[in-house]
Structure 1
Amino acid sequence: MEAVRGDGRWCVVTGGRGFAARHLVTMLLRSGEWRVRVADLGPAITLDRDEEEGFLGAALREGQAVYVSADLRDKAQVARAFEGAEVVFHMAAPDSSINNFHLHYGVNVDGTKNVIDTCIRCKVKRLIYTSSPSVVFDGVHGIFNADESMPYPDKFNDSYSETKADAEKLVMRANGKSKYIIGDGNNYYDFTYVENVAYGHVCAEKTLSSEDGAKIAAGKTYFITNMEPIKFWEFMSLILEGLGYERPSVKIPVSVMMPVAHVVEWTYQKFAKYGMKVPQLTPSRIRLLSCNRTFSCSRAKEQLGYEPLVSLKDGVKRTVESYSHLQAQNHRSISKASIFLGNGNLAKTVLWEDAKQTVTVLLLLAVIYYHLFTCGYTFITAMAKLLSLTALFLFIHGMLPSNLFGHKVEKLEASNFHITQAQAHHIANSISSNWNSLVSALRSLCRGNDWLLFLKVSLSLLVVSILSSMSSQAAFKIGTALVFTGFKAYEKWEDSIDSMVGDACTILLHFGSAKESSS
């Protein structure tokens, strides 16, 4: 594919390798009006296959686009990136999931100061700044159809929001020195498809390029949205269903999750130096997920001529198609919990795959508990009574007709109680396989380098020791509850639990290494 040649005018996109910025770069190249300078932190640009074969790859080869490595905190690097540019689209921002005030202030505030000063020195005609709707969100009060007149909160949700607001103020104060500001609209409840975000920037540039438009738009903020507010979890359900997953159905109160999030954040602050990964469960994220936030796009529509190019429905469809590698059928269909339980009837029962069978087993366990522990029988007497009840049930069940009051009665065949030769081989193979797995685990433990396995074995033995220290009655109740909830929980959050255990092992390794080096 050949890139469309521009007329020689250069523009710069800071943070040009970011998600929204990539779409803006492509849109600018497609327009044929611009040559694009892509500025980002990396020392060199690495294109994926679609980019290599698309407009950006062709533009880089033909000189219609160039990549510049630039840290916004370094004014010399910013100057090198902006030299000779007519327009700057300032989209760079640090990771918002890390609540690091020093990082956020350095990039969002000091970096934006450098951008403004360099635009003045390099005589850049127009600066279009990508802000965030989080600058008007305090983390407590929901936002309904807010317009650009909404004031900043007294207290911000996190350091990212606070420093983005400081940067926004800097850009607005710099008006008259060649500037423009735009909100990207990428927020919860008012989702904005990325092409619409890019198009909002293009509309802003075109408006500012005319004398009349500059008088109207310069120094103003604009919300860019899809103009189709939607409930956050409804949107997530559409994405998940499109990828072949079930809709989320379990509701957890914010009052329950917030203390957990604070503990997670505190743990990260203490153990980050030992290699702990940045957690996704943080107080600011919980507030973002639990508050309503919608914004009016009427000012952008009236003054910039902005209209969404892609509807929310089409945007969801395109998003699902873009992430086809995350389709449910592309992921493993058998969980580790199911494999551990033998991937048979036991797994179906314990993991609630057959609800009828699980409920039946739980009722049988309740009967066993009653006869063994609450009736005061001896073990032999209790077992005799249980066997008597079983024989009575089978006898009565055998006497019932195949159709009783319009309901089909499934008969138990004698073969249900037989073990075929193939089943016997399967059982023997399972026993030998489990024994070999145990031996393999012991070998790994003897080598002393598998912390994850050591942690799993230690936790398992701890659970066994706790249960064995209890009375048989308490152990039966707690053990049953753990089996029927623990395995299901592990199956549902398998990746998260494995990741947490892996992080714990990493921290232990770093801690051990630090201790050894200090000694």
Structure 2
Amino acid sequence: MAAPDSSINNFHLHYSVNVEGTKNVIDACIRCKVKRLIYTSSPSVVFDGIHGIFDADESMPYPDKFNDSYSETKADAEKLVMRANGRDGLLTCCIRPSSIFGPGDKLLVPSLAAAARAGKSKYIIGDGSNYYDFTYVENVAYGHVCAEKTLSSEDGPKRAAGKTYFITNMEPIKFWEFMSLILEGLGYERPSIKIPVSVMMPVAHVVEWTYKTFSRYGMRVPQLTPSRIRLLSCNRTFSCSRAKEQLGYEPIVSLKDGLKRTIESYPHLQAQNQRSISKASIFLGNGNFAKTVLWEDKKQTMTVLLLLAVIYYHLFTCGYTFITAMSKLFSLTALFLFIHGMLPANMFGHKVEKLEPSNFHISQVEAHYIAHSVSSTWNSLVGVLKSLCRGNDWPLFFKVVFTLLVVSILSSMSSQSAFKIGIPMVFLGFKAYEKWEDTIDNLVGDACSVVMHLGLSQKSSRQKHADN
């Protein structure tokens, strides 16, 4: 059975899917006289988020307090399935596959690749020595097959009905070694910088609180949450002895082969196939604004320039006051939309593209994208400030000074002059920098070297003069 993203620590969401959804499945099985139900549970049902787990077997009880809502509701669903065993001839059992991976995964590998592209995959949470059990997806499927065959056998009800089974690849491996193998396979560097859990946990709590506060406004689900930090830093290994003895389960794909197949299934995530992101794009937030300014979407850029030209005409060249200009602009827009709506679908043999009301609606995805662009721009500015505070990045210092100088010059102009000069500078300047960023950076670097050399020479001369 599917489940929502476990990183979303929303009890209502997980309860509705994991518990109520499981109830519906059980009821449907009984109503349709289904004979066997194998429920896909999770090893997280025995994890309290505090104590590591070493080679745990099925005798390990549920914890008094679960790591997150996902684990708690999966445990509740597992109990429902166990209690349903024997009802109207229905035989049930639960398998607990540990950390599933493989082709088609939309969470683990894509998230790792995205983190690597953003330069965030270099960190290890904790000391990096925690062991994990991972399970290749084909082995998970085979575990289901083994469970079904056992339940359908003559002594199946006695052997497996109403029981739980851990399913793994039976090859425990250090968690961060596994992550490193995937990253290396995709062409990225291994994580190497270790950050203590005690440092990360307070940050994660702040991030989670921020998400709970602003999620209603389109904030994306953060990757850094307390429950995830605990998952990344604890040991989690499980014994498959019961599954081996009672279900006849043995992994049919080794961890090495599973990793190889998984990595090969993501050619589009390989490092060499990723379009490098320019510094200009990063500075502009790497979103729709960056695409428009850098002419990546020429149609969108031309549309924006046309709108800016119309705004310029109404605000500056017609002699209207601001309020009059804006009212006329809105009136023209309303008139255009009204006339356009009256036009037939075809005119003179040409199809008239109709504007749907949905064109003016900002979808949740677009809202997320806008929020992401704003946050990316803000983070870029914060990164610039951090670099300036270190006091050793002269090229960056001169870039900032030059940018502020340009802004001060524009602000001293009239609105009309600033509009005429500023807009072309934005659309042409950033594009030029993107195209020749290495050359410009080298020139700035050379200029900085010359300035620093002159400064040192003058300082040395003054020192000699003082000594004399």
Task: Please report the TM-score for the alignment, with normalisation by the length of structure 2.
Answer: 0.55
User: What one-letter code is carried by the residue in structure 2 that aligns with 1:479?
Assistant: G
Aligned to 1:280: 223
Q: Percent identity?
A: 79
Structure 1 residue 335: Cα displacement: 4.7
The residue aligned with 1:251 is 194
**What displacement does 1:457 show?**
8.9
Aligned to 1:310: 253
Residue 257 of structure 1 aligns to a residue in which SS? helix
* Structure-2 residue corresponding to 1:268: 211
Q: Give the alignment of 1:434-513 within 5 angstroms.
A: 456=377, 478-480=390-392
1:223 aligned counterpart, secondary structure: strand
1:185 to 75, 98, 103: 98
* Alignment-derived partner of residue 356 in structure 2: none
By how many angstroms is 1:256 displaced? 1.1
User: Cα gap change, 1:482/1:115 in structure 2, threshold over 3 Å: closer, same or farther?
Assistant: farther
Question: Following the alignment from structure 1 to structure 2, what is the Cα–Cα distance between the partners of residues 454 and 253?
Answer: 26
**Per-residue Cα deviation, 1:177-211 (whole angstroms, up to 9, x for no partner):** 21222112226810000000000001111111112
What one-letter code is carried by the residue in structure 2 that aligns with 1:126?
R
The one-letter code sitting in structure 2 at the alignment partner of 1:180 is C
Question: In structure 2, what is the equivalent of residue 233 of structure 1?
Answer: 176
Map 1:31-430; keep pairs closer than 5 Å: 91-177=1-87, 178=90, 179-186=92-99, 189-333=132-276, 335-336=278-279
Specify the alignment match of 1:497 in structure 2.
none
- Asked if the contact 2:282/2:377 (under 8 Å) is kept, the reply is no
Stretches of structure 1 that go unaligned for 5 or more consecutive residues are 1-90, 341-439, 468-474, 488-519
C-alpha displacement of 1:176: 1.1
Report the Cα offset of residue 122 of structure 1: 1.4
Q: Which secondary structure state, in structure 2, belongs to the residue aligned with residue 480 of structure 1?
A: coil
Looking at structure 1, the residues matched to 39 and 5 of structure 2 have their Cα atoms a distance apart, in angstroms, of 17
Q: Is the 8 Å Cα contact of residues 94 and 163 (structure 2) preserved in structure 1?
A: yes
Distance 1:457 1:248, change over 3 A: closer
The 1:459/1:198 distance shift into structure 2, 3 A limit, reads closer
Residue-by-residue CA offset, 1:327-371 (whole Å, 9 max, x unaligned): 11111346527998xxxxxxxxxxxxxxxxxxxxxxxxxxxxxxx
The CA deviation string for residues 236-264 of structure 1, in whole angstroms up to 9 with x for no partner, is 11111111111110111111111111111
- The amino acid of 1:324's aligned partner reads P
Higher relative contact order (CA closer than 8 Å, sequence separation 6+) = 2
Mapped partners of 1:288, 1:103: distance in 2 = 20
Tell me how far apart the structure 2 counterparts of residues 463 and 124 of structure 1 sit (CA, whole Å): 62
Which residue pairs with 1:379 in the alignment?
none
Q: After superposition, give the CA deviation of every residue in 1:55-109 in whole Å (9 maximum; x if it has no partner).
A: xxxxxxxxxxxxxxxxxxxxxxxxxxxxxxxxxxxx1222211111011111111
Cα deviations by residue, 1:305-341 (Å, 9 ceiling, x for unpaired)? 111110000001001100111111111346527998x
Secondary structure in 1 matching 2:173 = coil
Closer, same or farther: CA 136–462 of 1 in aligned 2, 3 Å: closer
AA of the residue aligned to 2:97: D
Paired residue total: 283
Give how far 1:478 is off: 4.0
SS where residue 145 of structure 1 aligns?
A: strand
2:341 aligned residue: none
Instruction: Write the distance in 2 (CA, Å) between the matches of 1:461 and 1:175.
Output: 57
Per the alignment, do residues 315 and 463 of structure 1 end up closer, same or farther by CA in structure 2, a change over 3 Å counting?
closer
How far did 1:460 drift? Answer: 5.3
Q: SS at 2:155's partner residue? A: helix
Any unmatched runs of 5+ in structure 2? Answer: 101-130, 284-304, 313-369, 400-468
- Change in 2 beyond 3 A, CA 1:455/1:92: closer
- Secondary structure of the residue aligned to 2:9 is coil
Cα distance change of structure 1 residues 339 and 206 upon mapping to structure 2, 3 Å threshold: closer
Q: 1:183 to 1:458 in 2, by over 3 A?
A: closer
Secondary structure of 1:251's match? strand
Give the 3 Å change call, closer, same or farther, for CA 301–484 of structure 1 in structure 2.
Answer: farther
Corresponding residue SS for 2:195: coil
C-alpha separation in 2, matches of 1:194 and 1:461: 41
Q: Secondary structure at the match of 2:94?
A: strand
Report the Cα distance in structure 2 between the residues aligned to 1:195 and 1:459, rounded to whole angstroms: 42
Change (3 A) 1:290 1:481: farther
How far off is 1:150 after superposition?
0.5
Amino acid at match of 1:171: V
- Superimposed CA distance per residue, residues 86-138 of structure 1 (whole angstroms, 9 cap, x where no aligned partner): xxxxx122221111101111111122122222211211100100000000000
RMSD: 3.4
